[in-house]
Amino acid sequence: MTKLSFTHRFEPATVAGSPPLLLLHGTGGDESDLLPLGRAVSPGSALLSPRGPVPENGMPRFFRRLAEGVFDEADLRRRARELADFIAEAREAYGIAAPVALGFSNGANIAAALLLLHPGVLAGAALLRPMMPLAEPPVPDLTGTPVLMLSGMADPIVPAENAARLAGILGRAGADVAHDIQPAGHGLGQADVTAVQAWMARMVEGERA
């Protein structure tokens, strides 16, 4: 494995024209966690899966939090910049296009921060159970950037109004936002997989049109 600034796994594309995926795990996951999900939602895509560099009680995360749902925003901004730099490294090392992020929970939150703080780094994002990462987010130019948000109706961690605010901010920035509410909690189920598969297929068809 090529040595870059993040511990990671990379699987090259097997189908030409498939968008590369950046897989961003939740708290306690690692660089192998979302590989099966990535293969399921976009067969043939290159998969780039970094490990979060911030330990919390021995569990990897992508940035520090002060309490559940309370983020260390200074650390979040620094870690988002480091992740953006890693993506640039990986694109050069592996010869891939700007990736579409597929993030769950903490991974979805760092992906949302990338969209807001570093527009252009991602070609799109599927955010699974995301929260608003910043108290006073910038409104960048995300014109045409496809974003899927999948929230859980019974999610005990993410308040509905918090996720709705994130969808609103991304929409005002020009992103093409689809925000679906799943009959679920914070965990993922087959309905999430099916929703991301369909969204990825529409995105690829749109690029070909």
Instruction: Give mean pLDDT in consecutive 10-residue pieces for the chain, a chain of 209 residues.
Output: 89 94 97 98 97 95 91 97 98 97 98 98 98 94 97 95 97 97 95 97 76
**Nearest CA among 155, 76, 175 for reference residue 163:** 155
Question: What pLDDT, on a 0 to 100 scale, did the predictor assign at position 209?
Answer: 53
Give the pLDDT score at 203: 87
Using only C-alpha atoms, what is the Rg of the chain?
Answer: 15
Q: What is the pLDDT of residue 29?
A: 97
Answer yes or no: 155 catalytic: yes
For residue 68, the model assigns a pLDDT of 82
Distance, CA of 176 to CA of 157 (rounded, Å): 25
pLDDT given at position 17: 87
Q: Which of 25, 105, 151, 179 is catalytic?
A: 105
CATH topology of domain 8-208: Rossmann fold (3.40.50)
Whether 105 is a known active-site residue: answer yes
The conformation of residue 96, written as its DSSP 8-state character, comes to: -
Helix, strand, coil % over all residues of the chain, rounded to 5:
35, 20, 45
Selecting among 33, 42, 155, 179, the annotated active-site residue is 155
**How much is the pLDDT for 76?**
97
